[in-house]
Structure 1
Amino acid sequence: MDLLRKALLLCVLPFATSTASAAAPVAQTETAIFAGGCFWCSESDFEKLKGVKAVISGYTGGHVAQPNYAQVSSGATGHLEAVEVQYDPTVISYGQLVNYFWRHHDFLDAGGQFCDRGEQYGPAIFTANAAQMRIAEQSKAALLKARGLKQIATRIVPANTFYVAEDYHQDYYKKNSFRYQYYRLSCGRDARMKVLWPH
């Protein structure tokens, strides 16, 4: 089903530029990095939150410098599609972002997310420091206990270099709304979330 996303990109690629620049952090801005499958969808989900200033699509966790979409989507670089969430900690906390993330990806699926298969679409929380690691681990433990699970597929690992994805991926859900909605529906993301979180 990754072919579906590639097909949807064909209409925008001729007009795309190769890189995007991340907004520089300002006072009262902190960052969090999450990998929950398709970064178009993660970007759309996180940008709905009050206190989130920006969400940037990109790649992280791999072993190749300056990877591009074709390389990452092939699974050869070790990177995951991810989003960098820039937020105001006086409005929304890191813990609230983590709790929100559990409700917007399939934490039981280690083989990808929804219709996108492969490790490059796997779920993960990339923590910037010991405080974020502690909060994420505590949140994961609470979810395990609440659901009576022995394990959760979502990894919690220290963050490394975050590479900003190509311009045409940024705000894809806004710039190509019809194609995005078709992809999201076809991929079954929201339907799966209703199964995992019926209430």
Structure 2
Amino acid sequence: MNQTEKATFAGGCFWCMIKPFDSYDGVLSVISGYTGGQVKNPTYEQVCAGNTGHTEAVEITFEPSKISYNQLLDIFWQQIDPTDGKGQFADRGDSYRPAIFYHNHAQQQQAIASKDLLQQSGKFAQPIEVAIEKAVEFYPAEQYHQQFYQKQPEHYNRYYQLSGRANFIAKNWNNNKS
């Protein structure tokens, strides 16, 4: 039986954070949800209202023997504007803030090292503003949010383009994945 781990990342709208991870060998599942707040079993409407303390995030179940946590961190960084800690692209506020939620000490150390490496690279003139926090309870989002890019591809693609994410990623990461 293969060992699995969890990785949890927030990078703005969770719709745009599923597809980038979904196609990698070793990634068993990617779930949209909410984490970091004080309200149990929050709804999308409650999180969007901004008074739950939760952030939209994705929880990834993966096999470290096939894809490493560091590889997942690399994928994560290339989906976001790491200099914008107040939201991502068209989505503003704490529920859309970028964050890495670590599940153990090794993940914490790898996340810190990865963030430091990106900051030291000089790729961005501004500071890297991504929080690194201990993972807490993760609440799956409503079913209609799961795999949204597959269920509503036209809506997803329009949002991905119009939010500013597609242009930022193409310009800053030389990456055409959406």
TM-score grouping bracket, smaller chain normalisation: over 0.9
Which entry has the higher C-alpha Rg, 1 or 2? 1
- The residue that corresponds to 1:135 in the other structure is 110
What are structure 2's unaligned runs of at least 5 residues?
A: none
- The residue that corresponds to 1:175 in the other structure is 151
- The residue that corresponds to 1:9 in the other structure is none
User: d(CA) in 1 for partners of 2:134 and 2:163?
Assistant: 29
- The residue that corresponds to 1:64 in the other structure is 39
In the superposition, the TM-score normalised over structure 1's length comes to 0.83
User: d(CA) in 1 for partners of 2:128 and 2:55?
Assistant: 17
How many pairs were matched up? 174
1:136-175 alignment to 2 at 5 Å?
136-147=111-122, 151-175=127-151
User: d(CA) in 2 for partners of 1:100 and 1:198?
Assistant: 13
The secondary structure found in structure 2 opposite 1:55 is strand
**Contact 2:20/2:75 (<8 A) preserved:** no
In the superposition, the TM-score normalised over structure 2's length comes to 0.93
User: d(CA) in 2 for partners of 1:180 and 1:151?
Assistant: 30
Aligned partner of 2:14 among 34, 39, 45: 39
Give the partner amino acid of 2:71. Answer: Q
Deviation of 1:150 (Å):
6.7
User: d(CA) in 1 for partners of 2:122 and 2:77?
Assistant: 12
User: d(CA) in 2 for partners of 1:113 and 1:193?
Assistant: 12
Aligned partner of 1:188 among 155, 164, 169: 164
- The residue that corresponds to 2:27 in the other structure is 52
The secondary structure found in structure 2 opposite 1:66 is coil
